[in-house]
Amino acid sequence: MTEIPSLALVTGASSGIGAACARQLASLGYDVIAGARRVDRLNQLALEHPGITAQELDVTDQGSVDRLAAKLGGRPLAVLVANAGAAFEAEQIENADLAGWQAGYELNVIGLVRTVKAFLPSIESSGHGLIVLMGSTAGYIPYENAGSYTATKHGVAAIAGTLRLELSGRPIRVTEIIPGMVRTDEFSVKRFGGDEARAAKVYEGVKEPLTADDVASAVAWVAGLPAHVNIDRMVIRPVAQAAQHKVHRVLTD
């Protein structure tokens, strides 16, 4: 009898870290469901990488999450990478765009809880489940002009710690991946309302910020550990970033 590959679900998989996680987990032999709203991108990802199945998923929509949970048909879920998230504004709190704050909270916090809640029974039924929450160094150290993002990522850190306590004694690992400066195609552009020049300034002079594949490699490593080994938190920064406010930049005239 042919053994069915273990199942993994990656949310926010249409680009960046999520797409990289889907590719690397598939390379490890997982049967990967890549979930996101932009199905055209997911279809291309699935076409290029055997082992990946595209699935429309909006974690801010309860119906969308419930439909995917039902599609599992009772199949155990070995790995959930709850990656869907974004920053929607970059203003000082006194000038806060409250719509951006609300969108960030709905996606990064409520969407995360909705996803974990819906798939937890499938994760537990695997007998050795892993939940990976995509946090950020912003979830531990706030910085200027990022109140909405840092607030939601502090929420992710709290959710990770709470889950670990509440799931104690059950066969589920909970890992929070905490990247620092990662350069992806879309994150900063979205954060600055499509202003590509302003987004580029974030990485100006930084020779080698992290890439999506760097972060995905950490997720794949955690997924490959024995089931009794839990990595609570993993902070990942580029060498150029010694701390949140200490980044080595090489600027030319």
Residue 238 located in a structural domain: no
Rounded mean pLDDT, 40-46: 97
Residue 249 located in a structural domain: no
Q: Is the Cα torsion angle 207, 209, 211, 216 positive or negative in sign? A: positive
Using DSSP bridges, classify how beta strands 246-247 and 241-243 pair: parallel, antiparallel or unpaired.
Answer: antiparallel
Question: How large is the greatest C-alpha to C-alpha distance in the chain, in angstroms?
Answer: 65
Q: In the structure encoding, which two tokens stand for residue 77, read together?
A: 């879920």
User: Who has greater pLDDT, 158 or 197?
Assistant: 158
Residue 80 located in a structural domain: yes
- The model's pLDDT over 188-201, given as tens digits with 9 standing for 90+, comes to 556 666 667 776 77
* 80/12 Cα distance (integer angstroms): 12
Q: Give me the CATH number covering residue 45.
A: 3.40.50.720
Query: What's the mean per-residue pLDDT of the chain?
Result: 93
DSSP 65: H
> Is residue 139 a contact partner of residue 157, using CB atoms and an 8 Å limit?
yes
Tell me: pLDDT of 75 over 80.
Answer: yes
Q: Which domain holds residue 151?
A: 7-230
Using DSSP bridges, classify how beta strands 79-82 and 233-236 pair: parallel, antiparallel or unpaired.
Answer: unpaired
> Is residue 4 a contact partner of residue 78, using CB atoms and an 8 Å limit?
no
Using the structure block, give the residue that is written with the tokens 């010694």. 242
Residue 125 located in a structural domain: yes
pTM value is 0.94
Using DSSP bridges, classify how beta strands 79-82 and 52-56 pair: parallel, antiparallel or unpaired.
Answer: unpaired
- The model's pLDDT over 223-242, given as tens digits with 9 standing for 90+, comes to 999 999 999 999 999 999 99
Residue 111 located in a structural domain: yes
Residue 33 located in a structural domain: yes
Q: Which one from 30, 105, 143, 149 is the annotated catalytic residue?
A: 149
* 158/119 Cα distance (integer angstroms): 19
pLDDT-derived band at 253 (thresholds 50, 70, 90) equals low
Beta bridge partners of 182: 210
Residue 253 located in a structural domain: no
Q: Is 149 a catalytic site residue?
A: yes
Domain count, the chain: 1
pLDDT at 186: 65
- The model's pLDDT over 117-134, given as tens digits with 9 standing for 90+, comes to 999 999 999 999 999 999
pLDDT at 105: 98
